[in-house]
Amino acid sequence: MKLYLDTANIDEIREATQWGVISGVTTNPSLAAKEDEDFNTILSSICDLVDGPISAEVLSLEYEGMVKEGRALAAVHKNVVVKIPIIPEGMRAVKTLSSEGIRVNVTLIFSANQALLAARAGAAFVSPFIGRLDDIGHTGVNLVRDIVDIIDLHDLDCEVIAASIRHTEHVPAVALAGAHIATMPFKVLKQMFKHPLTDLGIENFLNDWKKAEKSLS
């Protein structure tokens, strides 16, 4: 399973890319709205930093608008993936954009039926939102597993991005469920490194080394 960052913050992306673990980035209008710069500038900067799929979302809800916005976003860089919500007009736009070689990530997926529709329309990626399902008392990870099983069983050419990841426990859970990609906030990615025994182990190694140095001198 690949790891993507779910952010539009350049500082976070720059720091995470230095760790060598990031294969792509996803953004959405809420994340972009938190940043000061205009979105096209942000998108270009992300593409300069990360050599992998970068999802950027359309704002229109009508077919013509989505196609126009999608083409403009895709023109920013070859790695841009157009993000479109799972609505009927959106699937029309997915069909058109994918036939032009533009990859689409269908977002706001909350059911296996929605994922199947998106994959049939030609989506390269589908994004089930697991945290938001957990929020309403469902188990988001189960949806990821169902979608992956359907894609495998019917040999659909579509990757599953487990999105709306809220904590570190979500990450191995979606990896075991077969997600191709997990996209997560910077905070969660950073927490993945942490274990108290790692900190304690480093402290002990350094202390033992210092003691040994003392006894030699």
Output the smallest distance, CB 18 to ligand G3P, in A: 22
* Residues 109 and 125 sit within 8 Å (Cβ to Cβ): no
Output the smallest distance, CB 165 to ligand G3P, in A: 7
Nearer to ligand G3P, 63 or 186 (CB): 186
Non-local (6+) Cβ contacts of 17 within 8 A are: 49, 50
Output the smallest distance, CB 153 to ligand G3P, in A: 25
Nearer to ligand G3P, 2 or 68 (CB): 2
Three-state secondary structure call for residue 154: coil
* Residues 133 and 145 sit within 8 Å (Cβ to Cβ): no
Considering the candidates 83, 95, 190, 214, report the single residue annotated as catalytic: 83
Output the smallest distance, CB 30 to ligand G3P, in A: 6
- For residue 106, which amino acid is it? V
Residue 75: which H helix or E strand, with range?
A: helix 63-76
Nearer to ligand G3P, 29 or 201 (CB): 29
Residue 214 among the catalytic residues? no
Neighbour-count burial of 57, counting CB atoms closer than 10 A to its CB (0-12 exposed, 13-18 middle, 19+ buried): buried
Nearer to ligand G3P, 96 or 128 (CB): 128
- Distance of CA 126 to CAs 36, 91, 103, Å? 28, 12, 11
Binding site for ligand G3P (CB under 6 A): 6, 26, 28, 127, 129, 131-132, 163-164, 166, 183
Pick from 51, 4, 2: which is nearest to 164 by CA? 4
Nearer to ligand G3P, 110 or 129 (CB): 129
Output the smallest distance, CB 1 to ligand G3P, in A: 15
Non-local (6+) Cβ contacts of 114 within 8 A are: 86, 106, 126
Q: What distance in Å separates the CA atoms of residue 95 and residue 70, rounded to the nearest whole number?
A: 12
Residue 56: which H helix or E strand, with range?
A: strand 54-57
Catalytic (active-site) positions? 83
